[in-house]
């Protein structure tokens, strides 16, 4: 019925959203995403929640590059608010899309809104992956200082690796000793 209604009223945003929801309920996520994407391409998805939900759906369907492009454009044209949550979601999309420089930029923007230890740790890991050891070390220290980490041992482990790569062996040993104090990094 909704498909017939859409053929008669293709500009009705509610029909598109309802059809996508029904496909999702039926377990047909690909069809649900296709309907949402068509509604977006037609310019019918304009509310922040709709755009963020589409980006999250892209991530769920393992399409992080599309999620990143959508979020980046929406943040650029102020379709979604530049909140820490939205910048963090963009950072996650770029991490999953293997776009480390774009992920670093998004994480930096998120850090403009909060000094969250988890965000500093993500940034430290991205910098370590790029072998930017001095910057990674600085961010790992910022993560520890900011607190709120689920696994502070990871920050100490990253510090140890960065110190080692920078030929600061005694500091590396100290950081590895700290990392051993935590269950998740003991091994």
Mean pLDDT of 118-137: 93
Residue 3 banded pLDDT, cuts 50, 70, 90: confident
Q: Would you say residue 147 has pLDDT above 90?
A: no
Rounded Cα–Cα distance for residues 67 and 93 (Å): 6
Q: What is the pTM of this model?
A: 0.84
**Which pLDDT tens digit goes with each residue over 61-77?**
999 999 999 999 999 99
pLDDT value at residue 144: 92
Of the chain, the end-to-end C-alpha distance in Å amounts to 58
User: What are 116's two structure tokens?
Assistant: 């969250």
Residue 7, classified by CB atoms within 10 Å of its CB into exposed (0-12), middle (13-18) or buried (19+), is exposed
Please report, rounded to a whole number, the percentage of residues in the chain having pLDDT higher than 90.
Answer: 79
User: What are 182's two structure tokens?
Assistant: 């935590």
């Amino acid at each position: 019925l909704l498909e017939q209604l859409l053929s008669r009223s293709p500009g009705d945003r509610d029909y598109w959203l309802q059809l996508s929801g029904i496909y999702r309920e039926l377990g047909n996520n690909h069809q649900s995403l296709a309907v949402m994407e068509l509604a977006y391409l037609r310019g019918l998805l304009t509310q922040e929640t709709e755009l963020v939900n589409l980006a999250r759906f892209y991530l769920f369907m393992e399409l992080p590059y599309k999620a990143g492009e959508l979020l980046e454009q929406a943040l650029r044209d102020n379709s979604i608010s530049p909140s820490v949550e939205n910048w963090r979601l963009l950072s996650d999309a770029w991490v999953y899309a293997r776009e480390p420089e774009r992920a670093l930029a998004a994480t930096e923007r998120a850090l403009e809104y909060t000094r969250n230890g988890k965000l500093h740790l993500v940034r430290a890991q991205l910098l370590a992956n790029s072998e930017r050891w001095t910057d990674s070390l600085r961010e790992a220290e910022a993560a520890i200082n900011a607190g709120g980490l689920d696994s502070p041992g990871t920050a100490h482990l990253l510090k140890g690796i960065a110190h080692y790569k920078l030929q600061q062996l005694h500091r590396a040993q100290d950081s590895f000793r700290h990392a051993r104090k935590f269950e998740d990094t003991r091994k």
